Amino acid sequence: MTEFRCIVCDRPLLRTLPAYERLPRVTSDCKPWPAGGQLAVCDSCGAIQKLPDRKWLDEIDRIYRAYQIYHLSGGEEQVIFSADGQAVPRSRALADFVTRRLDRSRPGRMIDIGCGNGSALANFSRALDGWSFEGVNFGTQRFRSCGQFRASPSSMLGRLIGSKAASISSL
């Protein structure tokens, strides 16, 4: 059996959550997906992550070959309703939520792995002046504002995706 290391702290302290395997799942483009897979929590840093075993790699390949971004809303980002009843794009609500809780005294850097068309990055870049933003999207589909790149094998992103080509957007 392969020992997986945490993608955040690189420690071998991942504990699987057995109940996850019985839950029906939904893909990131909101399509039903059968139960299965593994979810783990790192006992060192608390990061929750999927285990990149062969089954998971095969599943994400199948999911992203048929991926349709925002297919439920005609290609437009879905809106959610705020407490005061205002309809706002989901990624803008997320950016507002995160930036209210973030120490903004220093500039930082954000990477969005699975950035789709970059709408979350665009909303975070408007909210976090002075920060740098990068987004990567896997697979053969390229979304608006994304170019092609290969990650350095020594970078964290390179360790995650290996030598696979991906689409990237930088703001």
Kindly give, in sequence order, each residue whose CB lies less than 8 Å from that of residue 87, ignoring residues fewer than 6 positions away.
79, 80, 81
One digit per residue, the tens of pLDDT, for the chain of length 171 reads 468 999 888 899 999 999 999 999 998 888 899 999 899 999 998 989 999 899 998 998 898 888 887 778 777 888 889 889 999 988 899 999 989 988 888 888 888 877 777 888 888 989 998 888 888 776 545 444 444 444 444 444 455 555 444 444 444
SS (H, E, C) 95-161: HHHHHHCCCCCCCCEEEEECCCCCHHHHHHHHHCCCCEEEEEEECCCCCCCCEEECCCCCCHHHHHH
Q: What pTM was estimated for this model as a whole?
A: 0.57
- Residue 61 near residue 49, CB atoms below 8 Å: no
Cα of first residue to Cα of last residue in the chain, in angstroms, is 40
Give the whole-angstrom CA distance, residue 13 versus residue 15. 7
